[in-house]
Chains A and B, each alone.
Chain A
Amino acid sequence: MDKDILLEVKNLHVGYKTHIGISHVLKGVHLTVHKGERIGVIGESGSGKTTTMKSILRILPSNGMIKEGEIFYQGENILEMKYEELLELRRKKISMIFQDPTSALNPLFKIGQLMLDIIKHSYNLEESEAKEMALKALRDAALPDPERVFDSYPFQLSGGMRQRVCIALALIGDRELIIADEPTTNLDVTIKAQVLNLLTKLVRERNVGWIFVSQALGAVRENVDRVYVMYAGNIIEWGPTEKVFSNPMHPYTQKLLECVPKLTGTEFSKGIRGRIPNYFNPPSGCRFHPRCDFVMDECKKTFPEPVEVETGHFVACNLYRRR
C-alpha cells in the first residue's frame, strides 16, 4: 500500500431505498487522494458526486445504503469503523463543506453556538479556549468582524459570508482532508471567485488533502492537481488536470467540454442528447451508452474496464479497450 495515500474509495456501490424501489446511484466508484493532494470531481447534477462524498463520512440519509465497497482512510476502512472511531474521524480528520450554505447552517442557532458545540465535542476545551479557536477560524476565513459573525444567526449574514463560515468550520483544528461539495454553486460570479480563491489559498497554505466537487469545469481546471469525471454513478475518466482537459478521451468528457461556452466566443456545441438516466432502472453496461455517438453493441452489455491511455490518465470506455 502506498503510504502516501490518504483516502481510497474502492468499488463503492450505493443505493437509496425509496417507496418506488431502489435507486442504484453509485456503481463502483473509486477515488484516491494522496496526502496534500488536490482532487477535482466533475460531473453534471445527479451524477452521484454528493452521494460519494456523503458516503465517505457516512452521513448518507437514512434511506441510503452502501451495498458494496470499501473506503480506506489511512488504511482503515471507514465503513467498518465503530461509532466512536467514526466520531473521531469526523471530528479531527475529515471535514466537509456543503453545497448550499443557507441550508447547511441550522437557522435557529447562532454561528457561535454551532461552532462552540462542534469544538467542544471535538477537543474538550474550556468555553473561552473554544471561543478563541472559533474566532481564529473565522478570522482565517477572512470574515470581517469575526466577533459579530460569531454572535449572528445565519440569516443575518450574506450568502458569501455564510459559505466563509462553513469554510471556517471545515478548517478548525488540523484536518487532513477537506471535502468541498460544490462550495460555490449558489453564489454570485464575483463572490464565487472570492470564496474559491480563499479556499484554494487556505488549502495550499495548510497542505491538506482536498476533494473539490464541482460542475464548474473552469474552476476545477484552475485549482486542482488531478481530476475525476463522473457520469451516472461511475467514474469514467481520471487523470492529471492538464491532461484530462487538454486531451479528453471519453466521449462524454469530450462533449461536456465542448458544451461549456467560451469567452472567446467560438462555435457553440449542440449539447448532448438525452439526459441522465433513471437510477431505478439504469442502462445496462456503460451507463452513457444511450447518449453516446460511438455506441457499440458491447457497450450495452459490459461496463468497460478502465484503460490507462497516458501516464496517470485513465478512461473507462470500450473505444479504447479495443485499441
Chain B
Amino acid sequence: MENEYILKIQNLKKYFETPYGTVRAVDNISLKVRKGTTMGLVGESGSGKSTTGHVVVGLFPPTSGKIFFKNKDISVPLEKRSKELKKDIQMVFQDPASSLNPKKIIRDIVGLPLKVHKMVQTKEELEEKVAKLLEMVELPPEDFMYRRPVDIGGGEKQAVSIARAIATNPSFVIFDEPTSALDVSIQAKIINSILNIQRKFRLTSLFITHDLSLMRNISSEVTIMYLGKVCEIAPTDVFFQKPLHPYTQMLLSSVPVLTKEEEELKPKGIKSIGEIGSPIHPPSGCRFHPRCPYAKEICKKKEPRLIEVEPGHFVACHLYAEK
C-alpha cells in the first residue's frame, strides 16, 4: 500500500536565517501525495506553502526532516540529486515575468531541459520537440518559437513555463500559484491546459495556491497551511462539505462568491479578524490562537497534533482532540 504514495514528507522543517531573526518558514509538517492525484496546498502569505514546494524540488535543503520520492530519500541538496531525479520532478513558478529568461527565445527556454538531459541531438530535433510541447499548451509554434518573453503576454509566458516543466516527461510537477498574477480569463485558459496535461501524462502534482475556489476545481486532496504548520488535510469533497479547523472555516468564509449555491457552502458565524502573525516570532501553542474565535487556554500553551478525525481527514486543533 505504501507504494501508492509517490511523495512523502516527514516532519519537514525549513528555517531561514535573516538579519531580523530566524524565519520559520516551514515548521514540522508531514504530508503524503498519492500517485496520479493532485494535492492542493493552500495558505496565505507566510504560510510556508511555496517554501514547501521549493524544498521538495530541491532548491533549498531542508533544515530537518525527510522527503521521500518514490520511496527514495531526496532530502539532500540539489547538487547531490541525480540527473534522473531532476528529470522526474519539475516545477512551474509563480511569477510569469520572472519565470522565463528575458534574453532567450522561447525555443531555447523550452529546449533547455531537453538539452540538459540529452533528449535531443540536433537542432532540428530540438525544434520539432519544442513545437510539440508548445502545441500541447496551445501556443502555435511558428508564432512563438522565436519570440522573446517580453513580446508575449503573462498567460502565454505561464504556458511556456508549463511546456518547459513537462519537457522531460516528469512524473511529478509542482505548480506554485501558476495563475495568481493572471486575469481570470487567462487563468481559466492556463488551468485548462494544466488539467489536460495532467490527464494526458497521468501526472502527480502538488498545486500551491491561495485561492480556494480554484483549488476546488483542480485538486483531489487539500492541505491547509498556516504560519508554517499544517492545519487540515482532507479529500477535496469532504473538505468543502465539512471544514473543521477554525482557520479553514475563516478562510472559506472570506471567499467572495458569485452564486447562491456557493454562498451556501461558506461557513456561517465566523468572521475574519486579526492579522497573520510573524514567521519570525510565531505565536505560542496553536499558531492560530490569537485569531481563533474558539481559542481556549490550552491553545495558547500546547501545540495541537494532527489527528485523523475520519478516514483521510486530518486536523490539528484542540477542539477535535478532546473527542
Contacts and interface: CB of A to CB of B under 8 A. Distances in A.
A132 interface: no
A260 B275 contact: no
A81 interface: no
A128 B77 CA distance: 59
Given A191-B272, A218-B255, A261 B216 contact: yes
B10 interface: no
A245 B258 contact: yes
Interface string A254-267: 01111111111100
B187 A259 contact: yes
Contact of A219 (B44, B216, B256, B261): B256
B255 A263 contact: yes
Contacts of A83: none
Nearest to A265: B216
Contact of A268 (B195, B210, B211, B256): B195
B214 A261 contact: yes
A323 interface: no
A264 to B, nearest CB: 5
A163 to B, nearest CB: 12
A57 interface: no
Interface stretch (B23-31, B98-106, B178-186, B311-319): B178-186
A272 B189 CA distance: 7
Nearest to A193: B254
B213 interface: yes
Given A255-B185, A268-B217, A271-B187, A263 B256 contact: no
Interface residues of A, number: 40
Given A261-B216, A261-B217, A271-B189, A189 B255 contact: yes
Contact of B45 (A188, A197, A217, A263): A188
A190 B254 contact: yes
A261 B213 contact: yes
A59 B188 CA distance: 34
B185 A256 contact: yes
A116 to B, nearest CB: 26
A188 B46 CA distance: 10
B276 A188 contact: yes
Given A245-B258, A261-B211, A190 B216 contact: no
A188 B195 CA distance: 26
B44 A190 contact: yes
B153 interface: yes
A264 B259 contact: yes
Contact of B184 (A191, A219, A260, A270): A260
Interface in B260-290: 261-262, 265-266, 271-273, 275-276
Contacts of B258: 217-218, 221, 245, 257, 260, 262
Contacts of A272: 185-186, 188-189
B76 interface: no
Contact of A218 (B191, B195, B240, B257): B257
Interface in A222-266: 222, 245, 255-265
A219 B257 CA distance: 7
B212 interface: yes
B168 to A, nearest CB: 27
Contacts of B210: 188-189
Contact of B276 (A191, A216, A268, A273): A191
Interface string A166-209: 00000000000000000000001111111011000000000000
B191 A268 contact: yes
A251 to B, nearest CB: 12
B184 to A, nearest CB: 4
A271 B185 contact: yes
Contacts of B44: 188-191
A169 to B, nearest CB: 20
A269 interface: yes
A260 B254 contact: no
Contact of A262 (B192, B217, B252): B217
**Top 10 nearest A-B pairs by Cβ distance?**
A218-B256, A271-B189, A271-B188, A193-B254, A259-B188, A188-B44, A219-B256, A272-B185, A44-B183, A261-B213
19 contacts: A189-B210, A190-B44, A190-B276, A217-B184, A218-B257, A221-B256, A221-B258, A222-B257, A255-B185, A256-B184, A260-B213, A261-B191, A263-B212, A263-B265, A264-B261, A265-B216, A268-B188, A271-B185, A272-B189
Interface of A: 44-45, 158, 160-161, 188-194, 196-197, 215-219, 221-222, 245, 255-265, 268-273, 275
